[in-house]
Amino acid sequence: MSGTVRGFRCRLCPRRCNVPRDGPAGEDAQLGLCGMGRELRIARAALHFWEEPPISGTRGSGAVFFTGCGLRCRFCQNYEISRGEKPGRAVTPGELSGIFFSLIEQGAHNINLVSPSHFVPGIRAALLRQKLPVPVVYNSSGYERPETLRALEGLADIYLPDFKYMDKRLAEGLSGAEDYPEAAAAAIGEMVRQVGEPVYDKDGMMVRGVLIRHLILPGHTKNSIAVLEAVAQAFPGIPVSLMAQYTPWGQAKEEGGIPGYPELSRGVTRREMEKVEDALFELGLDGFVQSREAKGAAYIPEFE
């Protein structure tokens, strides 16, 4: 992978699979649990208008979607690229830097790195080539190692992590990551240490800080409320973006759905949404509540 050192074995995410990431490319490549080898690969780079208002603004966020993922949720809304079914395009750090500036020329409010964890060395090399005139958004699953995030200190301005699970059994069943609650809490703690609470410009655009996302899963409101309680206790002052637009995708979309999780074959009900939303307000958390209507294939980007 361009931007790494020779002999690099991957321990970037909590999986710590130790796979060589500087070996051959193509059919002979050794792949990590993220499904990626040494090449830095992107699946889409375009203006994106479906993030939170202080991220998308009026001109859109300059979203760069990276191929592969270390978490690999069975219901992933970007399943085609997180599982490598659409491998995207290999780029060098120099080419990636050029893509950043192209998006900025198109009017992007920021550069939004989507699922970047397994490519941090290459991304860091791209960001160091030339300072960007807009904020850099690190948009991830929350399944991170603080040690990896420290490599981005001073380079990432905004952290946009998910906090998916407090229920370990649910995390194991849907993402194969029983350690997710502890890993996400430690990662978000490092993000808050680096950039703190949100800071906004005169137009209401976020220029620095952490914003935590949580996607409500149908049939699992107890997990959602436990996540909100954990955020309120550990990260006071950090806003939450509560999302109810779950769409059955990935294995949840397939015939028969996810074994053992039939509830994931439907959307979130109004009653489920209101139950979690009430908890958000009762806990005094600031943030956003995204509509249940903003769901379906129309809201899932096309990847090439």
**Gap between the Cα atoms of 61 and 207, Å rounded:** 12
What pLDDT does residue 94 have?
98
In percent, the amount of the chain with pLDDT more than 70 equals 90
What pLDDT digit, counting tens, does each position of 282-294 carry?
A: 999 999 998 655 5
| Distance of alpha carbon 158 from alpha carbon 294, whole angstroms | 24
- Using 50, 70 and 90 to split pLDDT, how confident is the model at 86? confident
Looking at residues 265-278, what average pLDDT do you find?
96
Tens of pLDDT, residue by residue over 101-114, are 999 999 999 999 99
33-47 mean pLDDT = 94
Pairing, β 240-243 against β 287-290: parallel
104 is written with which tokens? Answer: 């900025």
Q: Give yes or no for residue 251 having a pLDDT over 90.
A: yes
CA atoms within 13 A on the CB side of 230: 20
Q: What residues contact 180, with CB distance under 8 A and at least 6 apart?
A: 71, 142, 143, 164, 165, 168, 171
Q: Is it the case that residue 297 has pLDDT exceeding 70?
A: no
Q: How do residues 134-190 score in pLDDT, each as one tens digit?
A: 999 999 999 999 999 999 999 999 999 999 999 999 999 999 999 999 999 999 999
301: Cβ contacts below 8 Å, ≥ 6 apart:
44, 46, 48, 63, 65, 78
pLDDT band at 116 (very low <50, low <70, confident <90, very high): very high
Mean of all residue pLDDT scores within the chain: 92
Q: How far is CA 239 from CA 70, 149, 213, 255, 283, in A?
A: 25, 20, 9, 37, 12
d(CA 288, CA 240): 6
Task: Give pLDDT, residue 300.
Answer: 52
User: What is the pLDDT, as a whole number, of residue 65?
Assistant: 97
Predicted confidence band of residue 128 (pLDDT cuts 50, 70, 90): very high
pLDDT higher than 90, residue 244: yes
Higher pLDDT residue, 211 or 304?
A: 211
In this prediction, residues 123-136 reach a mean pLDDT of 98
- Please give the pLDDT value at position 302: 57
Q: Is the pLDDT of residue 279 over 80?
A: yes
Question: Six-digit token pair at 52?
Answer: 């939170």
Strands (E) located in 73-223 = 89-91, 111-114, 136-140, 158-161, 199-200, 206-210, 212-215
- Between 76-85, 138-147, 258-267, the lowest mean confidence (pLDDT) is in 76-85
Note the Cα 119 to chain centre separation in Å. Answer: 13
Residue 296: pLDDT band (50, 70, 90) is very low
pLDDT of residue 129: 97
Q: What is the pLDDT of residue 286?
A: 95
Question: Can you give the pLDDT at residue 38?
Answer: 85
- Local confidence band at 77 (pLDDT 50, 70, 90 cut-offs): confident
pLDDT surpasses 90 at 215: yes
